[in-house]
Structure 1
Amino acid sequence: MTDITRTLEILDKLVGFPTVSRDSNLDLIDWVQNLLQTAGFDVTRIWSPDRTKAGLFARIGPGVDGGVCLSAHTDVVPVDGQVWTRPPFQLTDEGDRVYGRGTTDMKGFLASALALAERARKTPLSAPLSLSISYDEEIGCVGIRQMMPDLKQLIGKPRLVIVGEPTSMQVATGHKGKTALKGTCHGQAGHSALAPQFVNAVHVAADFVHQIRQLQDQLAAGPHDDAYSIPYSTVHIGKITGGRALNIVPDSTQLDMEFRHLAQTPAQDIQREIEAVAHQVSRAYPSVTPITVETINAYPGLNIDPSDKCVAWADTLASHFGRTKVPFGTEAGFFAELGLKTVVIGPGDMASDGHKPDEGLSKTELRACDAMMDNILVS
C-alpha cells in the first residue's frame, strides 16, 4: 500500500492556509517556494498585477523539454454561509477520509505533487519534472491567464501536462469552455403613476431573457457530445439587477450571464447569437439605447483526441481508472492553446465534495494519486 504520510503532512499545512480567492495566497506561496527550492528545483515566482498574489513555476531534471508538468491552483472558494461540522481551515483526519476546505479542490493533488517534488531530489531523472502553481482559478481562471506570458517563456515542451482537478483519478480528455457576459438593458426613468408613458428597462430585460431561453432550446437541438451529463452547449442568466424604487420606472437593468460551449461550437458563434438576440429585442424599443453585451471573462475548453498516444500514456500513469470528460472548467485549455498535450487527472469527486461544507477526500484516492506520482518519477 502506498505510504501517504508525507502527502498528508503537506496537505495539513496547505489546508491551514485560508487561501480564499478574495484574499492573498502569499503565505502559502512562500512556504511552497521554500519547499521546492529545498528540494532542488529552479523556482520562478510570477506575481499578480497588483502583487497581492503570486504563482510559481518550478523545474528539476535535465533540459526543458519532455517529461511531465503538474498544474495546480492554490485558491479555494469561501466558506461563508456554509454550515461546517469540522474546522474548514484545519485538516481533520477521520479513518479513510480527511476533511478541510480545498482537500478535493485541489490541495490534495498539490500536496501529492509537492511530496513527489521532495522524492525527485533523490532520484536520477531521465526527463524534467515541472510544476505550475497558480492563483485565482476559482473566479474564472484569472490567475493562469495573467501568468501565461511568463509561462510561455518558461514551460518548454513537456510531453504531458496534468491538471490535477478532481476526476476520481480518471483521465479527463475534455471540458467545455466558458464566457461570462454582462448585458445591460436601457429604459426611461419616470413616475410609476405614468408608467405606460415610459420604457421600463425591466420589461426590456424580460423580453431579452425570453429570447435567450429560446436560444437555449436551439443549442440543445444542436451539436452534442454524450460524454457530458449535459451533452450540448448552454446559456445561463444567473443574476438580474434593476430598478431604484417601486415608484420609479427603471431606466437600467443588468444581467449577469454565461455560456458554456462544446469544442465543436466555437465561443464566437454563440456570442454572435446572443448579440443578435440583443439587437432583435432592441429594435422593439427604438426610443432608448440598444441592449449592450460586454465580455467579462472567458476561458477555453479542452478537447484532446482520445486516440492520442499521450492519453494512453496518461492512462498508464494513472493506473487505468478509466476516462471521462468533466462538466466544470479547468486551466487545461490554456496549456492546450500552447500546443501542449494536456489532460485532467486528480483525486476526489467534484459532485460530492467540491465547494461544499465539510469538503473531504478519500485517502484511497490520495494513495492512487501518490501512486501516479511514483509512476511519473520512474517514467
Structure 2
Amino acid sequence: MSENTTISPYTTLAQEAIQLLKQLISTQSFSREEEGTAALIEAFLTQKGIPFHRKKNNIWAYNQHFDASKPSILLNSHHDTVKPNPSWTLNPLEPLEEEGKLYGLGSNDAGGCLTSLIVTFCHFYNNPSLSHNVILAATAEEEISGREGLEMIIDDLPPIEFAIVGEPTEMHLAVAEKGLLVLDCVAHGKSGHAAREEGENAIYKAIQDIEWIRNYRFEKVSPTLGPIKMSVTIINAGSQHNVVPDTCKFTVDVRVTEQYTLEEIIDTIRRHIQSEVQPRSIRLRPSSIPLAHPIVQAGIKLGRHTYGSPTTSDQALIDCPSLKMGPGHSGRSHTANEFIYLHEIEEGIAQYIKMLEDVIVEK
C-alpha cells in the first residue's frame, strides 16, 4: 500500500505561476507594446473570479474584503520587457523548460516576480482576517521609466502604507534604491577660425566642468547606498575641423541617494560649473524602507539579508516605504538566453506568503 503524499500549497501556486509565466513569455510585450500580456493577466484574474481595473496596459485589483478604514499594501511588478539583444541563440518568445530552468524573454526580469506576486495576491484574496488591504498592480513601461506605467495609476489607488516591488533579488531584501537624475548640459563659447586666435572653445569649457563632475564628492554618504555617483556618458560638439565650436553638449547620469533631494543635487552642480544644466525629469527619486519595518523584519527572520540597490525600478514612483525583492538574479536581466530557475519561483512564493502572513494576518 503506497503512502499518501501531500503536495505543498506553494507547489500548487508555483505551478499556476509557471503556467502563466510561459504564456507571458510567448506574448511579445516590449515597453509600450504590452496589450497582449495585459490581456493574459486579465484572463487569469477573470478565471479566478477576481474583479480588476485596467488603464492602458496597467491592471490592478483589490482583495475581496477591501475595507477603506484599513491600511493598504501594494504588490507591484511589471509585464513589459526590453527587446532581445542579438546574442540570443534561443527563440526569446518561446518558453523552454530544461534542467530546472525556464528560458525566455522576461522570465527573470520580471516575469517570475510578477507571476509569483499574482498568485500570492490570489492566496490572500478572500481571507477575511487581514489587518491590511492587499492591492495587486501589474504595470507597464517599467523598462523605459515611462509615464504610462505605474505612474499613470498611482493616483487611482488608496493611500499605500508600504509596497513590495517585484524585481529579481534572489529574494533578498533591497531596503533602499538609488534614484536617477539625467542632466543635459551645455557649455557656451564663441565660434572662430581654428587657424587664428579667435573664439572661445566650448569644448575646453566643457572639459573644465566635466573634470569637476568627475572629481566632486558629495559630503553625505548613505549607510545603505553609499555615495552619490555622477558619470558623464554622452558628449557632442563641433561641425567642422577648422571652426572653434561655440557650444558643447554633454549628458550626466547621476545615481542619487536618500541623503539629498534631487533639487539639492541640481543646485549644487549649477553652483559649481559654468555650463547650463537642465534635468530631463525629477521623477525618479531614491526610495527606502526602515530596517525596523515589520515586513523587513519578517524577511530577516527567514534568513534573508538586506542591501542597497544601485539600480532604478518603479520604486522610484512610489511615495511610501517600499521593499524591492523577488525570485531570480539581477545579473541575468537583459542577457541573452535569459532564464529563471523553477525552484526560485516556488521558494519566492513561499517567502512572500510567509512574510505577509507575519505582518497582515490577524492572529
TM-score band by shorter chain is: 0.7 to 0.9
1:146 and 1:308 map into 2 onto residues whose CA distance is: 25
Query: How big is the alpha-carbon RMSD for the aligned residues of Structure 1 and Structure 2?
Result: 2.5
Alignment of 1:246-257 (within 5 A): 246-257=241-252
Contact 1:57 1:151 in 2 (8 A): no
1:245 and 1:139 map into 2 onto residues whose CA distance is: 35
Which of 18, 21, 39 pairs up with 2:48? Answer: 39
1:334 paired to 2:317: yes
Contact 2:21 2:107 in 1 (8 A): yes
State the TM-score, normalizing by the size of structure 2: 0.85
Cα deviation, 1:274-299, whole Å, max 9, x if unaligned, reads 11123xx3xxxxxxxxx221111231
Counterpart residue number, 2:4: none
Equivalent pairs, count: 343
The CA deviation at 1:347 is 1.0
Which of 74, 93, 98 pairs up with 1:94? Answer: 98
Cα deviation, 1:287-335, whole Å, max 9, x if unaligned, reads xxxx22111123111122101223223546xx43222221211222432
Which of 328, 343, 349 pairs up with 1:348? Answer: 328
Counterpart residue number, 2:308: 325
Gaps of 5+ in 2: 1-7
Contact 2:164 2:323 in 1 (8 A): yes
1:334 and 1:187 map into 2 onto residues whose CA distance is: 38
Counterpart residue number, 1:224: 221
Which of 345, 348, 360 pairs up with 1:369? Answer: 348
2:138 and 2:240 map into 1 onto residues whose CA distance is: 47
- % identical equivalent positions: 21
CA 1:145–1:205: 2 relative to 1, 3 Å: farther
CA 1:154–1:227: 2 relative to 1, 3 Å: closer
Give the 4+ runs in structure 1 shifted more than 4 A.
117-121
Contact 1:59 1:129 in 2 (8 A): yes
Alignment of 1:76-91 (within 5 A): 76-80=81-85, 82-91=86-95
2:238 and 2:186 map into 1 onto residues whose CA distance is: 12
Cα deviation, 1:23-68, whole Å, max 9, x if unaligned, reads 4211211221232233233322223xxxxxx322211221243464
1:232 and 1:89 map into 2 onto residues whose CA distance is: 39
CA 1:259–1:346: 2 relative to 1, 3 Å: same
Gaps of 5+ in 1: 48-53, 282-290
CA 1:92–1:253: 2 relative to 1, 3 Å: farther
Alignment of 1:130-209 (within 5 A): 130-140=135-145, 142-144=147-149, 146-147=151-152, 150-157=153-160, 160-194=162-196, 196-209=197-210
Contact 1:212 1:277 in 2 (8 A): no
Letter in structure 1 aligned against 2:140 = Y
1:179 and 1:145 map into 2 onto residues whose CA distance is: 19
1:67 and 1:145 map into 2 onto residues whose CA distance is: 16
1:211 and 1:15 map into 2 onto residues whose CA distance is: 45
Secondary structure of the corresponding residue to residue 244 of structure 2: coil
Secondary structure of the corresponding residue to residue 138 of structure 1: helix
The CA deviation at 1:72 is 0.7
State the TM-score, normalizing by the size of structure 1: 0.81
More off after superposition, 255-264 vs 62-71: 62-71
Counterpart residue number, 2:231: 236
2:115 and 2:88 map into 1 onto residues whose CA distance is: 23
Letter in structure 2 aligned against 1:275 = R
Which of 296, 305, 324 pairs up with 2:280? Answer: 296
Letter in structure 2 aligned against 1:197 = E
The CA deviation at 1:260 is 1.4
CA 1:183–1:191: 2 relative to 1, 3 Å: same
Contact 1:58 1:131 in 2 (8 A): yes
CA 1:120–1:262: 2 relative to 1, 3 Å: closer
